[in-house]
Chains A and B, each alone.
Chain A
């Protein structure tokens, strides 16, 4: 398979405390990939690190290849061409992620100038077209407004317009709907789905909202405490989660259909990255954990059906799982 982005053994630590423990992740051209997990599990850090957007105190190692070219070794100038031009990123809370003292139109034309060489009237017309495309009504009159004059949903549309202006190959959407009302969330998700088809770009959708991921993505990676613990096609994985953590995520969601049942929260909390257990990071919260789990950190290993899993004692419904964690150690 010819991957657009290949991340290998990406590790990040802040002030010597590791927060990302070796991420391997591929993004194929045009695919929609979901990254799910609790806040702080490293979903966003993975992509901020890949694009060199982490603050200076962050220590990043590993390789990130974009069409075979290693970004980790790239000079700053080359990296600046990739950002926004090939890999664009949108963030949560769009109202604070856009510059409050720069006119919104200018923030879009800035991308057009940087990545498509458009200036003056042609840049303005293209920016108006982008605003139109993402559903900003009356774009011509609102081109010169400031971000505080827009609602949260409109602000997110503007940020999407800004991200798409560079015609990227990959759009990283970092919790794009978290700060929005439920009805607006649905509109933004629909917009992302439509635009992805229209512009044939890959989308990486970072979220803790499993329903949103199911709606948008074809493939999903579940992350826990700085590692990918389960990966696979979204329908297959959501139907039959193998990892006890993934299973726990579903048990903690209320269901609208079927008999009313008690929600099952995952006990405990994510371990402090400074005192990460030597074995499986989830072992302390896992009702299936045995002594083995507390001593050995499970590797992410291939499973049937194009899936991957990092667990020695997966959820029992998954009878076809290969139990070779113990042999592997």
Chain B
């Protein structure tokens, strides 16, 4: 078990390091922060000053090494825009993003999984078809289209909800809905197929043949077996929620991390972008790690046997 966790942690660290490296290189290859931040009409000596101050003329490997060295000391760099620590700018935005992503995740779990299980148990009926159709619509319509559609209906036509901003809890409704609909669809489909697969297994027939009540066959025998594929998908979805936040926060002018990322990328504010990417990578890695550990808890077959040699 210890070996398993250690290997996983090392792999997780390696993943985060690759993401950081990749982001570092790509950001520096794809545009000059001095040009973007200062604008085209600034005198050459000011531009050169700026380049010197941020070390932009150093060879990229030297920039990278000093970046790594700073990271190891817990220094995430300064924002090129206002020279405040990048990490503070990002941390400041985290609560706003969580206000959208946590309710969205809860909504996805609370609606997606039951809908999928229900459809599986009613396989072939009108209810099943209904769930499938809704699920397909949910995850095929891109979130920016879904967001605009919701704004059109609830803000423009009905006038019931605000279309942007973050001054009250009502403002969160449309962004949360936009973020969760795709995930609800994905979860419903996966839960449905996982459940159909499990319900066809011989041990389910054995449970029925023992005289176990139908509802207990589903609850005690089928659900624990269907949990593994469902948990896998939930792990992926946590990552994609963070990614989804970028689009949704932009549509609804929500002052979260996603919008900060867009602004910072446009401005080539390197330290801030790197900070956010690091955080996103860390969230994905942690959720995958959690999923791996959950597997062993859910399915005894996946528990690593202690090494015998």
Contact = CB atoms under 8 A, between A and B. Distances in A.
Interface string A108-122: 001100110000000
Most buried by A among B211, B213, B301: B211
A38 interface: no
A93 B202 contact: yes
Interface stretch (B36-44, B219-227, B243-251): B219-227
Given A84-B210, A110-B210, A166-B211, A101 B300 contact: yes
B203 interface: yes
B300 to A, nearest CB: 4
B206 interface: yes
A281 B209 CA distance: 31
B240 interface: no
Contacts, number: 76
B208 A159 contact: no
Contact of B208 (A53, A102, A148, A163): A53
Contacts of A85: 211
A98 B210 CA distance: 11
B299 interface: yes
A57 B123 CA distance: 11
A163 B210 CA distance: 7
A81 interface: yes
B286 interface: no
Given A82-B211, A110-B212, A166-B210, A96 B202 contact: yes
Contacts of B299: 100-101
Contacts of B290: none
Contact of B202 (A82, A97, A102): A97
B298 interface: yes
B211 A99 contact: no
A234 interface: no
Contact of B209 (A53, A93, A99, A110): A53
A96 B203 contact: yes
B205 interface: yes
Contacts of B214: 76, 80
A117 to B, nearest CB: 13
Nearest to A115: B211
Contact of A99 (B124, B203, B213): B203
Give the size range of A's interface with the partner.
20 to 34
B231 to A, nearest CB: 13
Contacts of A89: 206, 209
A324 to B, nearest CB: 40
Interface string A66-110: 000000000010001111110011010100111111100000001
Contacts of B161: none
B170 interface: no
A97 B212 CA distance: 15
A84 B212 CA distance: 9
Q: Is the contact region of chain B dominated by helix, strand, or loop, or is it mixed?
A: helix
Given A146-B300, A148-B300, A100 B209 contact: no
Contacts of A88: 209-210
Nearest to A54: B205
B201 interface: yes
A93 B201 CA distance: 12
Contacts of A33: none
Interface string A18-46: 00000000000000000000000000000
B203 A97 contact: yes
Nearest to B125: A56
B132 interface: no
Contacts of B208: 53, 83
Contacts of B211: 80-85, 111, 114-115, 166
B289 interface: no
Contacts of B206: 89, 91, 97-99, 159
A220 interface: no
Interface in B190-239: 201-203, 205-214, 220-221, 224-225
B100 to A, nearest CB: 35
A83 B209 contact: yes
A246 B262 CA distance: 78
A111 B209 contact: no
Given A76-B214, A88-B209, A100 B300 contact: yes
A101 B210 contact: no
A228 interface: no
16 contacts: A51-B209, A53-B208, A76-B214, A80-B213, A81-B211, A83-B209, A84-B209, A84-B212, A93-B202, A96-B201, A100-B203, A101-B225, A110-B210, A114-B211, A115-B211, A148-B301
Top-9 shortest CB links A-B: A84-B211, A84-B210, A83-B211, A97-B202, A146-B300, A89-B209, A99-B203, A97-B206, A80-B211
Given A53-B209, A89-B206, A100-B299, 14 more contacts: A51-B209, A76-B214, A80-B211, A81-B211, A83-B209, A84-B210, A89-B209, A93-B202, A96-B201, A96-B202, A99-B207, A110-B212, A114-B211, A148-B300
Interface of A: 48, 51, 53, 57, 76, 80-85, 88-89, 91, 93, 96-102, 110-111, 114-115, 146, 148, 159, 162-163, 166
